[in-house]
Amino acid sequence: MPQIIKQIIMQRSVIYIFLISLLASCAKGRYTSTNKVYKQQVKAFSKTIRQYPIKDSFNTSSEWVGTTNFGMRKPNFVIIHHTAQISCEQTLQTFTLKRTQVSAHYVICRDGTIQHMLNDYLRAWHAGNSRWGNLTDVNSSSIGIELDNNGFEPFAEAQINSLVTLLSYLKKAHGIPIANFIGHSDIAPTRKNDPNVTFPWKELAQKGFGLWYDDTSKVSLPPEFDDLDALRIIGYDIRDSSAAIRAFKRHFEQQDSSSVIDERDKKILYNLARKYR
């Protein structure tokens, strides 16, 4: 066989092997390495859970007795966010970079695709410095859902449909109370404004995810009514009352340009506070 032909065959073989390797690499997925880190961290957590409480400093008994009555810690709240990023792919990358120190259990893309990024029983880093009622460690008792949205646009119909499907599952699977479906701005009014004012809270409440107020046209406010106390009863952190009022209006009135409570607001607050008691 002429040398030139051998060289051509060899070159083609090298190219063929390269293409096969490239295709194999693509088949594994771009998140193969971060998925490996996920599995390693879960394995480390499971090792900790498997440790028996024998040698801790509080066990003064000579005999260890393990209770037979226990279970996994379970989420009791769902916190809804918008990503404030330009694409679902950007958010997925953000949540797979350790340096960002942020995450969520679910990401819902504009086309309705649901990405389940973290086991529901594990603690995501989505709520940050937040408070709802007396609850100050929201991450430890909640599931975080991020909706792909730049922070200003309306939410896509396919996205909301997928959200409703997901919420239905979570409500049933974890026994989450109706009142405990809330937004990021509700629990962090001084820092956050998500989900934005276009989010359909009323529609969700009608489906059983979150509370909503009734017709207030015939509401008569008692003389002792205190609007800030009503905000506190609902769950808002009222240490910064202006921020709490804006968060309330963003959620229940789809506007957040005012921090002044008017007569209509008071009637809504009165109606809601009675539901949250």
Instruction: Provide the annotated active-site residues.
Output: 146
Kindly state the tokens that stand for 19: 């293409």
By C-alpha distance, which of 145, 250, 231, 115 is closest to 192? 250
| Rounded Cα–Cα distance for residues 211 and 246 (Å) | 18
Residue 26 three-state SS: helix
DSSP 8-state code for residue 188:
-
Q: Retrieve residue 182's tokens.
A: 């809330």
Say how far apart CA 162 and CA 156 lie, in whole Å.
10
Tokens 């046209």 locate to: 217
